[in-house]
Structure 1
Amino acid sequence: MSRPIEDYALIGDTQTAALVSREGSIDWLCLPRFDSGACFAALLGEPGHGRWLLAPAGGTPPRVRRRYRKDSLVLETEFTTAEGVVRVVDCMPPRDCTPDLIRVVEGVKGQVSMHLELIIRFDYGSVVPWVTKNGAELQAVAGPDALSLYTPVKTHGHHLTTVADFTVSEGQRIPFVLRWHPSNEPAPEPLDALAAVADTEQWWREWFGHCTYQGPWSEPVRTSLMALKALTYAPTGGIVAAATTSLPERLGGIRNWDYRFCWLRDATFTLYALLLSGFREEALAWRDWLLRSVAGDPAKIQIMYGVAGERRLTELTLDWLPGYEHSRPVRTGNSAVTQFQLDVFGELADALFQARRVGIPGDLRAWNMTRELMDFLESGWKQPDEGLWEVRGPRRHFTHSKMMAWVAFDRAVRAVERFGREGPVERWRAIRDIIHAEICTRAWNSQRGAFTQSYDSSSLDASLLLMPLVGFLPHTDPRVVGTVRAIERDLVKDGFVRRYHTHEIEDGLPPGEGAFLACSFWLADNYVLQGRLDEAKGLFQRLLELRNDVGLLAEEYDPVAKRQLGNFPQAFSHVGLINTAFNLTEQLISPAIYRRGNGEEP
């Protein structure tokens, strides 16, 4: 049976990541990149699809406590048994060359019997490798992949599984190192596991030295920043939406998507989170990734790209995997990449404008890119699209999409006014005003007293909580107040916000999903703007309580089953947490909120 999503912790080397369960099993790991084939895929199937278990042997289930070492992605899982206490330390050192996975078993008290079970299955559990032993090295090879295990513990094969039983005494430390390399190249040399753990801890602590947040929510903000850094593909600066694929939005459902790619919709929110927190280098790398990835014909801009800017993300179904809690199909790639989403033009223009506004050095490419975007949008904004939520159904005139087209023209106008850029500003102002008037006419539903999901409809959409945050209308406007009230009434369930009613839209998929955590953070931001600080703090606290024991959030939450849902950990959720924490921190409320809104200094 699948472990709850919230039972997992994340370790990573800023090029890929692994998920470690509370029972000491690494059930997900793609090598050598986030979007590579998994060598451990038990998360989406059974142990036989690949995992690495390292835990106390048999008997009564141990009591488990775990944590990250302070300001680092070094995970400690402590097991208390009848025999004593043992600690498993897991990490992936930020890599110089090839990826390494380090596990160290530490005896804390007494003498504990331990069991190792290593099941390597390349290509998402479909390929059984050829395993050989050469002295202290155990090597598994299949196709282009090879893994080498180094440990002083004696292992042996049993039913296509590497196993070992050993004991650890108080004060003893037993290392395990798993190193990946291309199968056509020599295996890397053994690694000093204890030194690697210490170096990894130091690397993360030095990175955290840039953090500027000093507010009352330091721990959740710092953990969220660490998750964002772990989801960053260091060679390019791209940030993946999540470390996983196909974790369901509804248990047993089919809304299971691959999120190991970089979405343009995340651009501005991520930029804010990084800049507000002091991580200028990461923000600059993200800005540069954006410019490289979208280069070319503006009409062919995609909503997402691979970690290095790849455009072909063909969606495939992995029929041999039963899925997380039988949620099928399991998918790799994402066919939403072919969708037309108007909002990404606004996200991109806003991100480039805000980067320049807060002092990231100007780049001629950035303004040239903006000019190209505006040339396309002068007519392109009129087209229907698939919308922010990647609806797999007929295109329509989504309100959020039109609003983000307005944002694109607004930021282009402001770039001319503020930074002296050259462009047809009068024409842009005129189009900006036309879009604004059209939205206020066709997206406003007087019967509901709210803006609606698309033109001439009655359905609500939580994305419209962004209206005051992007500066489309002030938070005091009665139409904004009415929209927030309508969303509270119709989309808030058990205290959290759903994106929209899935049964109200034709997308060819069965209805049903959890509350979308980013939207719940947006509602808290609106409460801050409206001066409803007690409600904002209350909602924010409820959201913080959804985090698992090591501070991580998935994409969604099921308030009935009290389970996290969707891919994990989700960058969009953690970005929302960071930005809302800044908005709630008294001395930073105005800078955080209004940076996106009107583009002016508070």
Structure 2
Amino acid sequence: MGQNDGECRTAAMAPRIEDYAIIGNTRTAALVNRDGSIDWLCTPRFDSGACFAALLGDRRHGRWLLAPAGEHRVDGRRYRDDTLVLETGFSTDGGAVRVADAMPVRDRRSDVVRLVEGVRGRVRMRGELAPRFDYGQAAPWLRVDGRRACALAGPDTVFADADVPFTVADDDVILSEFEVGEGERVGLRLQWVPPRQSPSAPGDIAEVIAKTTRWWQEWTGRCGYRGRYRTQVIRSLITLKALTYAPSGGMVAAATTSLPERLGGVRNWDYRYCWIRDATFTLLSLLDAGYVDEAAAWREWLVRSVAGRPEHMQLMYGVEGERRVTETELDLPGFAGSRPVRIGNRAGEQFQLDVYGELMDAVHQARACGLPPDENAWQVQRALLDFLEGHWREPDNGIWETRGPRRDFTHSKVMAWTAVDRAVREVEEFGMDGPAEDWKRLRQEIFQEVCERGYDADRGTFTRYYGSAALDAALLLIPQVGFLPATDERVRGTVAAVERELCRDGFVQRYGTTGEAADADGLPPGEGAFLACTLWLADCHILAGDTDRGRALLERLLGLANDVGLLSEEYDTAHRRLLGNFPQALSHMSLVNTALNLERRGGPAHQRARGEGSAAADRRRDGPWPRTSPARP
């Protein structure tokens, strides 16, 4: 964007979701627009109130712009190799600069650091720092003293430090204006501090960024994947790490709230929480890539969060396992006019049967992959199975958290089967104590009901819920959890039906949003193709032995990532834009699993794993798909 005069962006100039990159410190994250503006930052946690919320409004709701003053060009941006340090190039008629943005990974700190480096000539820079606490609702009291500025309102305080002086404009914006010549550097830092505490000394920003670079490169150096898609897998793993709340091990679904699933629509949700349904995908992604410590921390978060009475288990929790995630609406314009803007998530109050299967599967896979046992895990699993035995027939809200009436969703019943199956395997494979024979009978009972009531023999496909003609892309998980093999003609028929009825331009929608499907959805129709579902389709083809089709789907989806390799939740095939909260953990963890799946299902890596002679190594390398032996008809 040529002008940086502080004018609100017009609709024609409004950013796209793919215009953003993420920086983070494994406690919270910021989104940086390609124009040099940090438009989103919640501090000190992912789910804290935002001090920069221009993402969901405009500059009046808080941002930090740092770019050349006057006319300039964006020459491109990238992450430093295998890191979360972002570099953006700008040029003017008089020269060029590079801006490095990062959040140092430190204990109990939430710093954002920015370093301007002169590349050639001389460039005049302008910084506009406008903290607006509580999602842009609270304009702070500003104080400036030379090279330090302070903004405070109620419990929130941020300090800014720079190598150049600050001033305050009439519109309560902290300004920094300076020139940078070739080889010169100017550093700036923003630090959130708890109430009544003093900020730390600024330090050398260049050294802080160098240290942050080393931290990420050391972390990515532990990745065990060396296949064809290493660049994309590494970027996805870094993104997953960035979405992890390090103190607890919990991983949020995305760094944002209310980025729309349809531009201008109402499908705008808060994803800054931890979903149980992501548990198995997360564990397998981390374990198979060599990140055992992170997987162990995630499992510990799972077990601790769901502790208590099993009927009180939620489908999602806060980053420390908080249960109260009350949904409210904010008076914000919304991204591209998409309202309402929500914080909190009412889906946390829903009953979702599938989460019991996801949790049981996650803990089982952790044991199967050799993760050291958790003494509390089996106690929690037994309690969940006791509850499930008496409640698996109940209708629920389903994996997609529909806000319509509860239904007997087929995928939910398949996941109830998965929960019982994993309990049987815990007894048979790991010697855990439990009534395996009773569980086997229950497993068969669920299996028979799903095949009788959830399958449409005339159309040759499983359906979204019992008695329905609608489809659901979650049914693509049937072979992955081992309910039926991918080569079973009922699974093949379901895959063909999904490709025929739910694919748009080669990408998969979660379900239809008109007619009968809309009644179950409970929301106005219309959303994009769901990226994780497209990868689940790729996995089905790979499991069935068609790696070429699976690879083609993966590579087509990789083409949707933005210029720095990030994916959101959905894709608008008509307007060719990313949709939904960003970056999306489920999209990135599914990408990792599909890439690893391709590596396992053929070629040297697969053959090496088979030749190692170690069952644990085979399990780790030969992969999660299917997660268990398929059931018998």
What TM-score results when the alignment is normalised by the length of structure 1? 0.98
Contact 2:484 2:630 in 1 (8 A): no
* 1:179 matches 2:210: no
Counterpart amino acid of residue 427 in structure 2: V
Choose which of 495, 508, 531 in structure 2 pairs with 1:517.
Answer: 531
Moved more, 581-590 or 109-118: 581-590
**1:460 matched to which residue of 2?**
471
User: Which amino acid counterpart does residue 270 of structure 1 have in structure 2?
Assistant: T
Aligned pairs (5 A) from 1:268-417: 268-319=280-331, 321-417=332-428
C-alpha distance 113-481 of structure 1, shift in aligned 2 (>3 A): same
Paired amino acid for 2:518 = I
In structure 2, the partner of 1:598 is 629
Q: Which moved more, 1:499-508 or 1:93-102?
A: 499-508
Match of 2:136 among 104, 125, 129: 125
Match of 2:243 in 1: 231
Number of the residue aligned with 1:544: 558
Q: State the Cα distance separating 1:192 from its structure 2 match.
A: 2.1
**After superposition, what is the alpha-carbon deviation per residue over 1:131-176, rounded to whole angstroms, capped at 9, x for unaligned?**
1123421011111111111112222111111123221110001000
Does structure 2 conserve the Cα–Cα contact (< 8 Å) formed by 1:354 and 1:599?
no
SS at match of 2:447: helix
Question: Cα offset for 1:97?
Answer: 2.6
Distance across 1 between alignment mates of 2:32 and 2:574: 25
For the 8 Å contact 1:468–1:597, the answer to whether it is kept is no
Distance 2:439 2:85 in 1: 50
Matched, 1:56 2:68: yes
| Mapped pair 1:534 → 2:545 | no
In 1: Cα distance, 2:381 partner to 2:195 partner: 44
Q: Distance in 2 between matches of 1:236 and 1:190?
A: 28
Instruction: Determine the structure 1 residue equivalent to 2:579.
Output: 565
Q: Determine whether 1:212 maps to 2:243.
A: no
Shift of 1:82: 1.8
In 1, Cα distance between the equivalents of 2:219 and 2:351? 37
SS at the partner of 1:521?
A: helix
Question: 2-side partners of 1:508 and 1:471: how far apart?
Answer: 31
**Which residue pairs with 2:588 in the alignment?**
574
Aligned residue number for residue 498 of structure 1: 509
Does the CA contact (< 8 Å) of 2:102 and 2:212 recur in 1?
A: yes
Find the aligned partners of 1:101 and 1:259 in 2 and give their Cα distance. 22
Structure-2 separation of matches of 1:4 and 1:470: 36
Runs (4 or more) in structure 1 with deviation over 4 Å come to 587-590
AA in 2 matched with 1:234: A
Partner SS state of residue 402, structure 1: helix
Structure 2, unaligned runs of 5 or more = 1-10, 607-620
Cα distance, 1:276 vs structure 2: 0.5
How much has 1:599 moved relative to structure 2?
Answer: 9.2
Contact 1:22 1:64 in 2 (8 A): no
CA distance in structure 1 between the aligned counterparts of 2:387 and 2:162, rounded to whole angstroms: 58
Partner secondary structure for residue 180 of structure 1:
strand
Amino acid across the alignment from 1:223: R
1:318 Cα offset (Å):
0.3
**Does structure 1 retain, via aligned residues, the 8 Å contact 2:253–2:271?**
yes
User: 240, 247, 264: which is aligned to 2:252?
Assistant: 240
- Over the residues paired in the alignment, what is the CA RMSD in angstroms? 1.3
Structure 2: distance between partners of 1:414 and 1:460 = 30
**Which region of structure 1 is more displaced relative to structure 2, 9-18 or 187-196?**
187-196
| Aligned partners of 2:405 and 2:522 also within 8 Å | no
Q: Distance in 2 between matches of 1:293 and 1:244?
A: 22
State how far apart, in whole Å, the 2-side matches of 1:598 and 1:269 are.
18
Offset at residue 535 of structure 1 (A):
1.5
Q: Do the aligned residues in 1 keep the contact of 2:485 with 2:630 (CA within 8 Å)?
A: no
2:194 and 2:432 map into 1 onto residues whose CA distance is 48
Aligned 8 A contact 1:142 1:183 in 2: no
Q: Distance in 2 between matches of 1:538 and 1:426?
A: 43
Show the counterpart of 1:194: 206
Q: Is the 8 A contact 2:361 2:422 kept in 1?
A: yes
Deviations 1:507-552 (A, max 9, x none): 4321000000000000011111122222211111110000001100
Cα deviation code 1:103-134 (max 9, x no counterpart): 00000111112111111100000000001123
> For 2:376, what is the secondary structure of its paired residue?
helix
Q: Aligned equivalents of 1:331 and 1:25: distance in 2?
A: 23
Report the Cα distance in structure 1 between the residues aligned to 2:628 and 2:399, rounded to whole angstroms. 19
Q: Quick check: 2:597–2:625 contact (8 Å CA) kept in 1?
A: no
Return the alpha-carbon distance in structure 1 between the equivalents of residues 476 and 630 of structure 2. Answer: 18
Q: Distance in 2 between matches of 1:83 and 1:171?
A: 15
1:42, distance to aligned residue in structure 2 (A): 0.1
Report if aligned partners of 1:6, 1:563 keep a CA contact under 8 Å in 2: yes
Cα offset for 1:393? 0.9
How many angstroms does 1:584 deviate by? 1.2
One-letter code of the match for 2:399?
L
Alignment counterpart, residue 449 of structure 2, candidates 435, 438, 448: 438
* SS at 1:77 equivalent: strand
